[in-house]
Chains A and B, each alone.
Chain A
């Protein structure tokens, strides 16, 4: 019994696999069409893959039918394209028609259909790779470049226009990692520029119809680029070398001329230059010695030294009238210090040179060369009714140390009198600056001095005397032309001072022809400047409406430089000229001024440039 069971089990166990094996035979699995491709749009091939085998030998067959017909055809050629493929020849291929293709797997047990696939040949075109890819190195003026050329695949009929192919190529250095791709369009040639000299390049080409798939890349072509120097780089090298060279030369030149370059770029600031001033002495710390050298022997001017001084005051002869001004003597003390007496062109002469403003200028008193000017007072008056004018010394002249308020009041003072105010008396007072006494220069001209109060041309000859008794006589004489010109005589004060416009009033009562003949005609003059011979250059005033009291500003405006003539002698009365070296002790003609014969518009006599000398 037991043996029988064992035997049955054995037999069963042997039989079962066999039986089972026989049971694995099934109908084949479902095949699948993988792809269909046409290389030339005239033929095409379809490939499929088999499903499961089913255990039995399976055969595959492909059936198709065209788009609008139901006739089913079988694949004409199973072998040309290899296993599991179907090749459609030209005769079976229709363009622009959809093929409905099915693959059937058949074995002994059954068959299985694949899913149908629609294929239009036009859209499955994948050409072969381009052929005859050649790469050459050509020379250009910018350097070498690669010229790649190829031909279309032989199967594709591009010549008749049946297929239109577009190409693409890619390039890279052999050791590089990334390709550089270029579209070449429909052309069969391409240039590649900007190469690395001495590098090895790989080139590949592929193509595609305008409605299909890209072909495979062609096999790589290698090319070696010869060595060359890029022209651009060599040019830069040349430029760099050249510039370095020039730079070196420039540096060398500058180094050689260091000092002059420095002088040119950073011009030295002019320092104060005082003649006779020795800096070294100062550094040594001996101020006495330093200042000693500055002392001019002739300074302060002695009373005999009239030539050096400019007498700047107006002497007004006043008819028993008030002695307005206190006796102030030390005109000379006030005023600006100027080293003008030394004929040094460097030092601050400029401001004194200009013939404006009493206020601003520092009259150089001491030497003839100094430009100082005197403010002419417009004084008109008749003989006998002169008023004394006193001037402060420092008024006219700017200056730093001038005492307050002196000169500045002049214009104010004078103006009303000029314009023919109704007052009969015009008062101007000259204040003699005694030391730091305020000088208020006013003067007035008595009314009767004016023939008519409104008209300017007066035939008066004002004479001014300061209260100190030192006075300068100023004569106003009228030029033949219109306008009133003043001329004045300046006398040196007994004490010498410097740098006053009106300064150094000198009293010479005795010498003064205090009363000048009233019949003298008078005019306003303006001292334009002092010329080289220390002569005052005057110009007559033309404007009637503007008195000399406005001169301060107007002087600046008067640009006209009139002819000057120097007259002496008999004409001195009318055209007094300033003589150098002439003493003031002489009669009325104390100073002689050069007088211009032409008219100007400014209002006062400015004796700026020269010192009157006596």
Chain B
């Protein structure tokens, strides 16, 4: 009996070992205050850099996808006519700054929130776009892969921005992924011109918004490093 009890306690100790460790060691370190420097988390600057890289990459891939789609499915005369037949990009509930001067007047907080809203508004439409593209007969594999990749990366971008907000603004109140009302999915047949144009509009709007995210983040970074020189121009 004694052996059994000893064995049980050992097993329990082994199982609960991670809990013990995690209780003992804080995950977040505060270097400035000189406390325990057991940093399991990443610094703000590095995080911002990574988020910017993410946004850049998303933009680049979305641009490639848009070009691919345009070449495959959109008839030539209709290219670059993005708001054809009323398919405009959905307006956001949140006012997004539209020019550099506007952006320069905006605060960091709003900048980050704008980015977050943008990201979150595109999560669902991209999923929808994936399903639509799958129904196309001769959609190239690369296009499908890229859109899939983008929708995955968008999720991780959202998480990164949430963390960034928490770190930079000490704002813990955010929840992730509240969905903006995006373009309503129409059950039209694929490859009909309407659906093609709709998808095309979706892609180009996303491309634009991806560029917005990238720019906002870069401006934010500039402000972090050298606040005054960013405004002078």
Spell out A's residues near B (CB within 8 Å): 41-42, 67-68, 90-91, 93-98, 100, 118, 120, 122, 157, 159-162, 164, 210-211
Contacts and interface: CB of A to CB of B under 8 A. Distances in A.
For A94, A97, A161, A162, the residue with the greatest tally of chain B CB atoms inside 10 Å of its CB is A161
Contacts of A94: 98-99
A102 to B, nearest CB: 14
Contact of A161 (B96, B101, B208, B221): B221
Interface string B207-218: 011011001001
A42 B89 CA distance: 21
B158 to A, nearest CB: 20
A210 B52 CA distance: 14
B82 interface: yes
B88 A68 contact: yes
A67 B208 contact: no
B219 A162 contact: yes
Nearest to B81: A118
A96 B98 contact: yes
Main DSSP-derived SS at the A contact region:
loop
A122 B82 CA distance: 14
Given A160-B230, A160-B233, A118 B83 contact: yes
Nearest to B207: A211
Contacts of A98: 82-83, 88
Contacts of B91: 68
For B89, B98, B100, the residue with the greatest tally of chain A CB atoms inside 10 Å of its CB is B100
A122 B218 contact: no
A67 B222 contact: no
B229 interface: yes
Contact of B215 (A68, A91, A118, A161): A161
B212 A90 contact: no
Contacts of B209: 96
B60 interface: yes
20 contacts: A42-B100, A67-B89, A68-B88, A90-B101, A95-B100, A96-B98, A96-B208, A96-B209, A97-B98, A118-B82, A118-B83, A120-B82, A120-B208, A157-B233, A159-B222, A160-B218, A160-B229, A162-B100, A162-B218, A164-B218
B100 A90 contact: yes
Contacts of A160: 218-219, 222, 229-230, 233
Interface string B184-222: 000000000000000000000000110110010011011
B63 interface: yes
Contacts of B142: none
Given A41-B100, A90-B100, A122 B208 contact: yes
Contacts of A122: 208, 211
Interface residues of B, number: 28
Nearest to A93: B99
Interface string B48-92: 000000001001100100000000000000001111000011010
A87 to B, nearest CB: 16
A476 to B, nearest CB: 88
Given A98-B82, A160-B229, A162-B215, 5 more contacts: A42-B99, A118-B80, A122-B208, A160-B233, A162-B100
A90 B233 CA distance: 12
Contacts of B56: 164, 210
A91 B102 CA distance: 9
Nearest to A90: B101
Contacts of A118: 80-83
Contacts of B101: 90-91
B82 A210 contact: no
A211 B63 contact: yes
Contacts of B100: 41-42, 90, 95, 157, 162
B131 to A, nearest CB: 27
Please name the 8 residue pairs, one residue from A and one from B, whose CB atoms are nearest each other, closest first.
A161-B218, A94-B98, A160-B230, A160-B222, A157-B233, A161-B222, A94-B99, A96-B208
Nearest to B221: A161
B65 to A, nearest CB: 14
A159 B229 contact: yes
Nearest to B223: A160
A67 B59 CA distance: 22
A157 B232 CA distance: 10
A552 to B, nearest CB: 82
A133 B211 CA distance: 30
A572 B189 CA distance: 128
B89 to A, nearest CB: 8
B63 A96 contact: no
Contacts of B83: 67, 98, 100, 118
Interface in B118-155: none
A100 to B, nearest CB: 8
A100 B96 CA distance: 20
A610 to B, nearest CB: 90
Nearest to A211: B211
Contacts of A120: 82, 208
A378 B222 CA distance: 116
Nearest to B60: A210
A95 B99 contact: yes
A108 B100 CA distance: 41
A210 B57 CA distance: 11
Contacts of A41: 100
Contacts of A157: 100, 233
A93 B97 CA distance: 12
B212 A96 contact: yes
A65 B218 CA distance: 29
Nearest to A41: B100
For A95, A97, A98, A160, the residue with the greatest tally of chain B CB atoms inside 10 Å of its CB is A160
A92 to B, nearest CB: 9
B81 to A, nearest CB: 6
